[in-house]
Structure 1
Amino acid sequence: MKEIVFENVCKSYGKAKIIENLNLTIQPGERLILLGASGCGKSTTLRLIAGLEEISSGSLYMNGQLVNDVASGERNVSMVFQNYALYPHMTVADNIIYGLKIQKLPKEEIVQRLKSAVDMLELNGLEDRKPKDLSGGQRQRVALARAIVKRSDFLLLDEPLSNLDAQLRGHARKELVKIHQTYHQTFVYVTHDQVEAMTVGERIAVMHAGRLQMVDTPYNVYNRPANVFTAKFIGSPSTNIFTAHYADRSLQIGRQAVRLPEFWSAHLGKNGCREFYLGIRPEHIRLEQEKPDNMFAGTVKYVEEYGNRCGVYFDLEGHEVVAICERTECKPGDRVCFALEADKIHIFDKQSTKNIGYPEVYCEHFYQYQSV
């Protein structure tokens, strides 16, 4: 089955709660990313799967078996650690095949698996070196090779690329996907890096303060965030979030108001929303320097240069808002205006901070886009 199921799992150290009521099913053979900031509980969750931490309460099932009390060595997992954890006195080849020797596999099988891993991860010619003679990227590939030669049902990775430079990370991400497509292991990957999460994962589980915030595809996590935290955590610069009101079929921010399309008015009326959090991503704001009807207006504070685009930060009724533009002639002190694109806004309940959902017209557009 290669399935992992958390049922009301909690992990505490004394009075400190690290994981709270985690309910999550990781499908057989999928690539699931545990994404969150430092201290959110994602690495602890991975270590619970590996059997390196004890569960405080709840149940963890792997391959349909309750594994709360099953030793790590009996869970059929391979794990890649952030610091690689290579044996310094062993050669590259010995590091890779050490686990296979412990399992007492036939020599021919060990040689075949070693060659396959070395070829896949471009380690040819390095087999006789010691870890101290390798670069960070080479050590990372050795750690990956050691994990994949076991061909375990579950491949667990704890921020394995965080010590690499940007170019190496990009190459390594492609290799990880290739490894998964070759062996189809259930793949659980911990990272705080959004780019890694979006490019490697088939699904992303966003975590915060020991609680699961959202589990969905990268596209849905980005375009239909479940709550304010997810909306702000995913994306750079972060999603603009500000308090807004709805009255007389208009959306009000401070003293300014714009008319909403009928489908949004009906949706807000059905949900009884009057005061809420409005979210819109920086790349979905289109700035104008003249104010036609039905637009918000603000004053530019500063412009951030990114090379191929710019970030324009402006004040809107006391809220700092950022818009991403390809190029702009805006400068501090300029007055700028923008309209809301109806299919690009997100509305969150003020008390729970959860997304209230989208009008049916928006949903039809969304699913039509998804199916193209």
Structure 2
Amino acid sequence: MKWPILYYFVLCVLGALVLSYLKKRFGQIPQTAHEALTELKAKQSVDYSGVFRNLLAALVILIFGAGVGPEAALLGAIISLSVWQSDKLRYLYFHYDEQEQQVFWTKIQRLLHPQQFVQRYDTMLAPVDKKKLKQVMNGLFIVNGLVVFTFLMKLVGHPSFITKLGTGKIEMASLWLILPALLTAFVIGNAYQWLQAALAKLCQPFEEKQSILVTFGAACIFLFVILMPRLLFSGQSFMHLVPSFGSQQAWYILVIAAIMKLVFLQVCLQTGWIGGDIFPVVFSAILIGFAVAQFFPTIDSLFVVAIFATSLTTQILGTILVPGIFVGLFFPITLWPIVVLVLFLQWLLKNKIIKSN
């Protein structure tokens, strides 16, 4: 292309205009999984009327290169649609006789109507003697969802969203690396939280002027398009190249890339280009892991990466279980014990800090 910079500039401007319009029209969208779960816990339901506009906003954010993951907005939409489906089933349960008296097309229209013919959750109507059955059914639904998801992925030939980084082995004599990994994670995690707070404070005066924030975010995306295009999006598409990239580039290049990815993530989140943070954080943590591995050429590199990536991911995100499981999926099963060990030590340290306070 003759004018690639102009082309990218036009794309970023277009993305900013579309996202600014959506936010001006519909408010602070897309809704994230955390927001949906918070609403669900508080109200025992969610407002699912805006699920498709949330998906549209998430699509705009993702296709125009924001350095965020797809999981937050997609899970938020899944939660909303799941509640809608539950309300439909609940309506069918309480109005079964009435529903059966309708003609076929009326039944279909009632079941598919987006807003009407739903029964919201009511604690007064909920049976109190079936909590154990509810727990069992929830477990079965989770297993069913995972099985169906795996089946559909294989049926359509879709590649896995998890990329295995290679093969590795645990080296018992090198377990001492866990201590510097935890210390490094503590420092970087606190620096990331400081960055998050600083950017939030800088953006606070513009909370009522979302178009300004979105435009600034688009300008940052344009800079990354020109200077660091590999850091666009969540990092998932580049993950399969990380092992070769990590072994060929100097350690300081990897560290700079990891830091800039985290900065880019926070800039996007604070300027309204909302999305998930697990993929970008895991991507950065793995890059830092490969950088550290260069200082220990006699130790299995993936063993070093597993220790540092697990420590960094859980510390930066502030939670242990879900990020820990997620980062472990990128490593071979032979390294899972070391991932579990690091997670256990993180859990002990977190509990000790909480008790001391």
TM-score (normalizing by structure 1): 0.23
- Structure showing greater relative contact order (alpha-carbon pairs closer than 8 Å, 6 or more residues apart): 2
Kindly indicate which of the two structures has a greater share of residues assigned to strand: 1
Q: Which has the larger radius of gyration?
A: 1
Kindly indicate which of the two structures has a greater share of residues assigned to helix: 2
